[in-house]
Structure 1
Amino acid sequence: MGRRGLAIIAAGLLAFAASGCTSQKTGSGDQPADGGRIKVGLVTKTDSNPYFVALRDSAKAEADRLGAELIALAGKFDGDNEGQVAAIENLVQQGAKTIMITPSNSTGILGAIKNARDRGVLVIALDTETEPKDAVDATFASDNTEAGRMQGTYVKAALAGKAPKVIMLDGTPGSTVSEQRHNGFLQGMGLKDGDPAILGVEATNGEQNKAQTATENLLQRDASITAVYTLNEPAARGAYGALQAKGIAGQVVIGSIDGSCQGVTDVKDGKVVATVMQFPKKMAAQGVQAAVEFGKSGKKPSGFVNTGVTVITDKPVAGIQSQDTAWGLQNCWG
């Protein structure tokens, strides 16, 4: 092999090492890289959060089924925008025809997305919208505002006329998903930011330990709460732990969003009154299908594709469509 060939290989290895991202290649593996398989890239927020693991595994299964090659990368932590930027650049270098991304920062990733699209790469957002939405070719996701609204509507009904005294456990400050779910919950409850019925708001990054500490701090200020909004199910578990330690868990309505098997079990066990299930497996599978279609025919998906949400509870409320926990455990994360 000549010096030029060795230089090209070395440059490629350096570009990969510089990405600082985790990597997982999937596909049939026994075919050469240039054997005609369509390369589909996936960039998730992390490779450890069970939600994104389920999304990634679904994308892998669908890519295998359709004979495509999936290259899965991730940020080091939720909010690692630089890691996601490096991952997109890496995937472009590897020849991905489509890149699917769950953006940690809906605006910070825009430059990398534009560069990829300028080079003819189809870019699909999964789970989380970019700002603006048309920065990507298409989005496959839940309507997070609607998910929050459904949580709020159910929690209000579950209070059964009791005055709402709410604490709100948000996600990461500035997160699009966190803001959408927060606003949707308030709409469902019939409240607005600053309403006296809201006893406190804390950012938890969707983490159980931070949510428990936040709830403990809020309870020190006012223990008369009747309801808790939680961004996701780990936050709900943290809230429940704090309320249980205080001896008032049975007096407070906790609502949540996600739809993991553990979250559904928490509903079944009475720790959470209801959770709003999302379907990340569906998002991933539909994204891969669109990617393969683009690779074959050049046809692009467009706009927002709503993959749906469903209230899971064993205490149905009139006027709110829901499924019980038996259904939820059979369909967790879709």
Structure 2
Amino acid sequence: MSLHSIRTSVRSTAFGALGLALGLTFAAGSASAEDVIVGLVTKTEVNPFFVKMRQAADARAKEKGVKLIARAGKFDGDNEGQVAAIEDLISAGAKGILVTPNNSSGMLDVIKKAREAGVLVIALDTATDPADAVDATFATDNFEAGVQQGSYARKALGDKKAVVAMLDGTPGGTVDTFRHDGYLKGFGIAEGDPSIAGAAITNGAQDKGQIGMENLLSKNGDINAVYTINEPAAAGAYAALKSFGKEGDVMLTSIDGGCAGVRDVKDGKIAATVMQFPYKMAAMGVDAVVEYAATGKKPSGFVNTGSFLITDKPVEGLESKDTAWGLENCWGD
């Protein structure tokens, strides 16, 4: 499966058939559940998205009676740390490993080693490159989420001439590429379009989002639309916009669906965000490993865990939910 093929995967509703494995129990006659180790390797331990993912995986593992070993990179982009974590999990006898790759092509060798050792490997949130390097991917359709963000921004700007800033994440990850490209498609422009004022790398962090936004505003004070890779970067962008006195003049949008981000939408700091569901990814991943341990059955391909546009200022032609719904369904604190 190529990187682009997962973009065309059928989009699901947020709470539809994606619970396909959630009722599984450990099969009788197989090795006991407590002997099953599920590994989880996230990009970092501090990003609220991955904190929620780890909490959901831990809760699901306890419910199923299996052991979860959670590891993470030291920072967003720490490919070596994640490779070492997977090596350790192979040595520990993990039956399955759930991984959110910091670098979509940088972990191929260790993933191959794990699969050759009989370990089920599932990518959560971030696809590998190529996508079929893992057994399956449970994730948001990040290209479609980017399209939702960009489409909203363009429609909400109305007749204004667009001057766009791009606050990207970490180079080398499919999430960053898909969201960036999706935003451009939704906005109706292509890479290199003269309406793009500039871009900055934020690593999905609030402080780098603020610095990047300040630098871009210093170069071009006419920016009126800002793409952000996630809500921490958007929070940083808002701080920068406020310091320039431009917080009311810019169409700031994002992706995540964390409770803090939804509150920022409610408070008018972010115009709209696209909610995704990390707890669903993690729970489905644990279930898949349990089923594999019990029956030998492996999942395959890309499973879209859903996304919804959240805004209190809906635009015609785009389906969205308001922040009241968002606060009922968000993740994090």
* TM-score where L is the length of structure 2: 0.88
Per the alignment, residue 90 of structure 2 pairs with 92
Residue matched to 1:105 = 103
CA contact (8 A) 1:277 1:333 kept: no
In the alignment, which residue of structure 2 is the partner of 1:208? Answer: 206
Q: Name the stretch that deviates more: 263-272 or 239-248.
A: 239-248
Q: Tell me by how many angstroms 1:174 deviates.
A: 2.5
**Counterpart for residue 122 of structure 1:** 120
Specify the structure having the higher radius of gyration (Cα): 1
Residue 177 (structure 2) aligned to one of 179, 193, 210: 179
The answer as to whether partners of 2:101 and 2:173 remain within 8 angstroms in 1 is: no
* C-alpha deviation, 1:35, in angstroms: 7.3
Which fold has the larger relative contact order, with Cα–Cα distance below 8 Å and residues 6 or more apart in sequence?
Answer: 2
Cα deviation per residue 1:105-137 (whole Å; 9 max; x = unaligned)?
111111000001001110000000000000000
Map 1:269-308; keep pairs closer than 5 Å: 269-308=267-306
Letter in structure 2 aligned against 1:64: K
Partner of 2:322: 324
Picking from 129, 135, 138, the partner of 1:137 is: 135
- Partners of 2:195 and 2:172 in 1: CA distance: 23
CA distance in 2, matches of 1:295, 1:63: 13
1:80 equivalent among 78, 81, 85 = 78
Q: Deviations over 1:283-328 (max 9, x none)?
A: 0001111110101000000000100111010011121111111111
Equivalences for residues 6-155 of structure 1 within 5 A: 36-155=34-153
Encode CA deviations 1:208-256: one digit per residue, 9 max, x unaligned. 1111111111112111111111111111111111111111110111010
State the SS of the aligned residue for 1:205.
coil
Give the drift of 1:36: 4.5
Q: CA deviation at 1:173?
A: 2.2
Partner of 1:20: none
Contact kept in structure 1, 2:34 and 2:67, CA below 8 Å:
no
- Match of residue 198 from structure 1: 196
- Count, aligned residues: 302
Counterpart for residue 28 of structure 1: none
Question: After superposition, what is the alpha-carbon deviation per residue over 1:40-96, rounded to whole angstroms, capped at 9, x for unaligned?
Answer: 111111112111010010001111111111111111111111111111111111111
User: Do residues 225 (structure 1) and 227 (structure 2) align?
Assistant: no
Q: Which of the numbers 263, 267, 286 marks the counterpart of 1:265?
A: 263
CA contact (8 A) 2:164 2:225 kept: yes
TM-score, normalised with respect to structure 1? 0.88
SS at match of 2:226: strand
Instruction: Name the % identity.
Output: 62
Distance 1:244 1:295, change over 3 A: same
In the other structure, the counterpart of 1:13 is: none
Note closer, same or farther for the CA distance 1:199–1:291 as it changes in structure 2 (3 Å cut): same
| Aligned ranges 1:233-272 → 2 under 5 Å | 233-272=231-270
2-structure distance, mates of 1:226, 1:323: 24
Indicate if the aligned counterparts of 1:37 and 1:67 stay in contact, CA closer than 8 A: no
Residues 163-183 of structure 1: per-residue CA shift (max 9 Å, x gap): 111111111123221111110
**Which residue of 2 is the match for residue 170 of structure 1?**
168
Letter in 1 for 2:284: Q
Letter aligned with residue 256 of structure 2: D
Partner of 2:17: none
Q: Which amino acid aligns with 1:63?
A: A
AA aligned to 2:130 is P
Q: Give the match for residue 21 of structure 2.
A: none
CA distance in 2, matches of 1:51, 1:318: 30
Structure 2 counterpart of 1:282, which letter?
A: K
Deviation above 4 Å: which 4+ runs of structure 1? 33-36
Name the CA distance, whole Å, in 2 between partners of 1:124 and 1:35.
19
Letter in 2 for 1:228: V
Q: In structure 2, what is the Cα distance between the partners aligned to 1:215 and 1:116?
A: 41
For 1:9, the equivalent position in structure 2 comes to none
Q: Distance in 2 between matches of 1:202 and 1:319?
A: 30
